[in-house]
Structure 1
Amino acid sequence: MMLMTADLVAVWAEIPTPRGVQEAVLASAYFPVEEEMAPTAEVKAFVEHCQQSGKPWILCCDANSHNTVWGSTDTNKRGEYLLEFISSHNINIINRGNERTFRNALRGEVLDLTLSSQNMSSSVTNWRVSGEVSMSDHMHIEFDMGLFPEHELVFRNPRKTNWELFRFTIEEGGNSPKHPITTKQELENEAEHAELP
């Protein structure tokens, strides 16, 4: 399935993965500089449709909007409107750093954004501005996609608990940590290095 207008192209992609075919919407958009507001009505409708249907999506766009949040040198009204839309719709900004995505003889600016739904953001890694010549005043944007990664479920099996060590630690204070444990990682580290009585 594909949607195409003058300023928005979206493709419904079926992507083969080790867990079977996964689906995602991949889109590209242009926000005309002459419009006062950003994003366009088309992009708003696209995002709202994907959110209502639960479809994961990535949108790469020439936003023509400045905001220091995504690395611009300043913030303009369009950038304020766009950031408000991004925040109010739980959209992730994938851009990293502040390397200029637009460059001409007079100036450089971060105008190109890569946005995604919450359920897609962890699948996009290694976002970068390419040094390759683009034959345009906009640079190529590159990123890696590892769609729908397998999440390893980590848990402790109570049947494998060393109850003797547990009782000793509680009752005798043996092997107690030198400082209070405040995070899950600290607890894991203490459990890993605990010595038997």
Structure 2
Amino acid sequence: MSVRGLRSAIEGASVCRSGSASGWHCGTIAQRDTSVTYPQGVVNHLTRTTVCGNPGDSGGPFISIEQAQGVTSGGSGDCASGGVTYFQPIFEILAAYGLTLKVVEIALPGPGTCTSYPHLATGTLNSRQSIYWPHDRGFVTTVTGTYSACLPNDPGRDRDLYLEKWNGKAWSTVAASERPGSYEQITYFGTPGRYRYRVYAESGSGPYTLGHDEP
């Protein structure tokens, strides 16, 4: 998965973790700036998540919407019965060891580049209007995998792109691209569930093309 920054996600945001023992698993951020008592002592300023973990997963990365969050510190339970994990925030790690996070540089491509996606959706969008693909009820996936989508450059228009997931009560944004202009691109590694894409016209009316792919 590409890392494009280190913006801290808020409590309730989606977050995913990779571990050498259990692989990729996702959940949400439950509490920031908490303390955990380990046999070796108390560790402060950790972030608690609902992501499961197995012994041997410590040291793996936490990512939220292509933004680095931290490194797995520990937890309780496992990925068979469920549990929680904690991560050390990325800022503290970089500062402590004098490190710099290497991120993927994004070069804005020209119009039409989103046509390389396996699925395309087209339509017309008015300024300050949102549309949902495939509709406001979304679509259901039954496997864990990568969701990706793209809006091509369209001079004179400003659009934003979101991936939303149904949490049982409401739709929550799990990935977003809100750059100036119309070119937007998102990639999200998610668990099974009900999702939908939202395209929003910040300014400018006219046709749009949404390139997308799902697991």
More strand by share: 2
More helix by share: 1
TM superposition score category, shorter chain reference? under 0.3
Higher-Rg member (1/2) = 1
